[in-house]
Amino acid sequence: MTERSEVIRQQTGEANSMGSVQIVTTILAAAVTAVAVWLAVRAVVKMTAVIRLGQPAPERFADKGARTKTMLVETAGHTRMLKWGVVGAAHWFVMVGFIVLSLLVLEAYFEVVTPTGGLPIIGHWTIFGLVTEIITVLGLVGIVVLMVIRLRNRPTRPGGRSRFTGSTMWQGYFVEWIVLLVLIFGLLIRGFKVATDHFEYPLWATPVSHAVGAVLPDWSDGASVAALIKIAISMTWLIVISLNVTMGVAWHRFLAFPNIFFKREPAKPAGSGLGALRPMTSQGKPLDFEEADPEKDQFGVAHVEQFSWKGLLDFSTCTECGRCQSQCPAWNTGKPLSPKLLVLSLRDHAYAKAPYLLAGGGKDLTGEEKATQAQLAHLDVLSLAEGDKPLIGDAESGGVIDPDVLWSCTTCGACVEQCPVDIEHVDHIVDMRRYQVLIESSFPSEAGVMLRNLENKGNPWGAPQNTREDWTKGLDFEVPRVGEVDDFEYLFWVGCAGAFEDRAKKTTRAVATLLNEAGVTFAILGEGETCSGDPARRIGNEFVFQMLAQQNVETLNEAFEGREKAKRKIVATCPHCFNTLGNEYGQLGGEFEVVHHTQLLAHLVATGKLTPVQPVDGGVTYHDPCYLGRHNRIFAAPREVLGDAIAGDLTEMPRNSERSFCCGAGGARMWMEEKIGKRINVDRVEEAMATGAKTVAVGCPFCSTMLNDGVNGKGAGEQVEVIDVASVLLRSVKPEQPQGGRETAPIGG
């Protein structure tokens, strides 16, 4: 303890006796705190009860060590928030301020009792004064920055919608003003202690507090009154959020920690809900279609309580920040889908329906009411009405989620990648689609043709299976089939697009030519290959997906019989196949090492097995496919290939890498007509054309189709060419190789 501290203690012996002001401040602080704590406990009990209404998710409790590490890294390091630099930094200071400066709120309870009070033990340490001073100042700067950002992006500003459109704005303003006032009154308490010469920290450690004290009067009760106001402000915040359990902008301060802890895959570097979809489950167990019974097993999600408890925790945790909304291709092109508004609708519905559910209400799997009239007799009419709302339905039927919202999603994953609290939007959307497709048979009519083709022909276009190998015709080398050769390094998964779609067949031929040029041994399944099942799974038809996937897993396991996983290598040109084979077939017993063709080509160039000899000129920009980039974090390989092929730097689009804008084809949208708003592919093509590049390189057959259609729709087919990365490389490696002219329209697409 310093000599100054001892002097102050001696000067304030009277501090142990409470004056009339301190008696009043103490009573008022105790009263408002008691009310706030009681309401908070009641709110937590209610929220816990609502979340527990969800279905089991036992897998969320595995890998506790990895989960703890990820939670600490994401929260303390703000790894996801800092993707938006200024906002992330400001929020970090506010978050740290909320946690650390809670000690100063606690200290205020000692200061209402006596104006010279402080925290026991650490309250007199100079280092404590220094740290809290720094955090207070930086917290003030941070909260002011966040307030300015919210005001500049308010939905009512000139210029239209923002990421805050649909957010409950008063709640955001309320929370920010509370933080600002708590920090200000914290400085005022210190200032009054300085003014009355009762402050224990030296000038060098707390210069701002001393500066505030220099302009405040010598009011002996000032610290106690300021402490009471600080407590009142803090408890007002607690009372308000306790009366508003759906106030995610405030509750996320507590719920973000468990929501991140219980994320689907804690070891993933990006969004936990990216890559593979969650398997279809009933009562927390994967559904076995050979034994499943719709009257006993849950097929997708028909009611909000059929989401897992983690889903209900997701909805409760949403901060309404709108990052997901700002990146969503549907929202940005005038579609009714906003990932944020979808989550908020589910959250509000869950809490409005909760009294009905907690009373024993709800529908069983046959649609019958589970509760007796006596159980529901005490409920108000609003809760009962909420219980009767369909989860999916248009405005006329009073549905919680409009069908146009549900079917606008491309499953691009931009929402999941951006969410700072790890909400798994795509899983929830697909779960709702599963019920609509499998039980209600309700989905966009044009997608029905695609599903029938998958069931009957094994590909979404309905092309004859005996034409799967037609792309090999005319090549100046033999393409071996599995079973015709004793050994091969890679199984070349051609995919449906690569086998049947005219543009994609050029990519398939280019990849095969490059592999042959590099001396890589490979083989194809030919007619033994069928659709990976990606379109079926993303549209919600898990039954067709599993039928196709199990067939492929059996075929692939036979092809790789006797090989360890490290030697069961597959190269795929379609990111959707790449993702499905590599991330989802493991759910069905298929363990393979799957690489995308751009990864393999980058390796072959780096090791000197392929040598670009003639740079491709005219300027090249690259479009990141969602299922290659965001979903699987493959950003570098295609850029390395293109950099070698053009002997220079790419012209990047403003939205690239993890923030790349979707082409519009994912989530089975490739086979659904885009009837609302601006076409997503046109929006992306305009961005690509604005770079001035003459070549738009892609790494996905779906992207190739969509962007080609967009270029042709803009009447720019003679000025801009959309081709695969492999074709760009082939032109550089073998400039004499005939390319067959510009790419033509797809079959049936």
Tell me: do 479 and 579 sit in the same domain: yes
Confidence bin at 633 (pLDDT 50/70/90)? very high
358: how many CB neighbours lie within 10 A of its CB?
16
Whether 591 is in a domain gets the answer yes
Model pLDDT, residue 157: 79
Model pLDDT, residue 371: 86
Tell me: do 429 and 468 sit in the same domain: no
| Residue percentage of the chain with pLDDT more than 90 | 79
Whether 229 is in a domain gets the answer yes
More confident: 267 or 640: 640
Model pLDDT, residue 291: 86
pLDDT digits (tens, 9 = 90+) for 180-206: 999 999 999 999 999 999 998 999 999
Mean pLDDT of 78-83: 86
Tell me: do 626 and 479 sit in the same domain: yes
pLDDT digits (tens, 9 = 90+) for 298-334: 999 999 999 999 999 999 999 999 999 999 999 999 9
Residue 405: pLDDT over 90: yes
Whether 4 is in a domain gets the answer no
Final residue belonging to a domain, choices 401, 420, 439: 439
> Which ranges of 486-608 would DSSP assign to H, the alpha helix?
495-500, 502-518, 534-539, 542-559, 575-579, 597-606
Residue 127: pLDDT over 60: yes
Model pLDDT, residue 271: 65
Total count of domains within the chain: 3
Residue 15: pLDDT over 80: no
Nearest to 694, CA basis, from 669, 673, 714, 722: 722
Residue 11: pLDDT over 70: no
Model pLDDT, residue 13: 45
Name the residue with tokens 């799957």. Answer: 594
- Grouping H, G, I as helix, E, B as strand and the rest as coil, residue 482 is strand
Tell me: do 538 and 648 sit in the same domain: yes
434 alpha-carbon distance from chain centroid:
20
CB 691 within 8 A of CB 653: yes
Residue 14: pLDDT over 60: no
Final residue belonging to a domain, choices 260, 289, 315: 260
Model pLDDT, residue 738: 54
Mean pLDDT score of the chain: 91
Tell me: do 424 and 496 sit in the same domain: no
For the residues of 611-670, what is the DSSP string, one character each? ---S---S-EEEPPPTTTTTTT---HHHHHHHHHHHTS-----SS-GGGPPP-S-TTTGG
Distance (Å) of CA 362 to CA 302, 348, 389: 11, 17, 11
Model pLDDT, residue 17: 53
Confidence bin at 1 (pLDDT 50/70/90)? very low
| pTM as predicted | 0.92
Model pLDDT, residue 436: 97
Whether 289 is in a domain gets the answer yes
Residue 7: pLDDT over 50: no
- Grouping H, G, I as helix, E, B as strand and the rest as coil, residue 294 is coil
Residue 745: pLDDT over 50: no
pLDDT digits (tens, 9 = 90+) for 327-343: 999 999 999 999 999 99
Please state, in angstroms and rounded to a whole number, the distance separating the CA atoms of residues 391 and 402: 9
Tell me: do 453 and 427 sit in the same domain: no
Whether 507 is in a domain gets the answer yes
Tell me: do 626 and 727 sit in the same domain: yes
Please state, in angstroms and rounded to a whole number, the distance separating the CA atoms of residues 704 and 702: 5
Tokens of 237: 């915040």
Mean pLDDT of 232-242: 97
Mean pLDDT of 580-599: 95
Tell me: do 279 and 420 sit in the same domain: yes
Final residue belonging to a domain, choices 406, 439, 472: 439
Model pLDDT, residue 748: 39
Model pLDDT, residue 303: 96
More confident: 617 or 449: 449
Tell me: do 497 and 646 sit in the same domain: yes
Confidence bin at 747 (pLDDT 50/70/90)? very low
Model pLDDT, residue 615: 87
- Grouping H, G, I as helix, E, B as strand and the rest as coil, residue 378 is coil
Residue 10: pLDDT over 70: no
Whether 15 is in a domain gets the answer no
Tell me: do 229 and 338 sit in the same domain: no
Tell me the angle at which helices 725-733 and 636-646 cross, rounded to the nearest 10 degrees: 30
Tell me: do 511 and 606 sit in the same domain: yes
Model pLDDT, residue 743: 46
Tell me: do 249 and 277 sit in the same domain: no
Whether 10 is in a domain gets the answer no
Distance (Å) of CA 639 to CA 602, 692, 697: 9, 18, 10
Distance (Å) of CA 116 to CA 19, 26, 101, 226: 12, 14, 18, 12
| Residue percentage of the chain with pLDDT more than 70 | 95
Residue 160: pLDDT over 70: no
- Domain limits for position 25: 20-260
Residue 584: pLDDT over 80: yes
Residue 749: pLDDT over 70: no
Whether 2 is in a domain gets the answer no
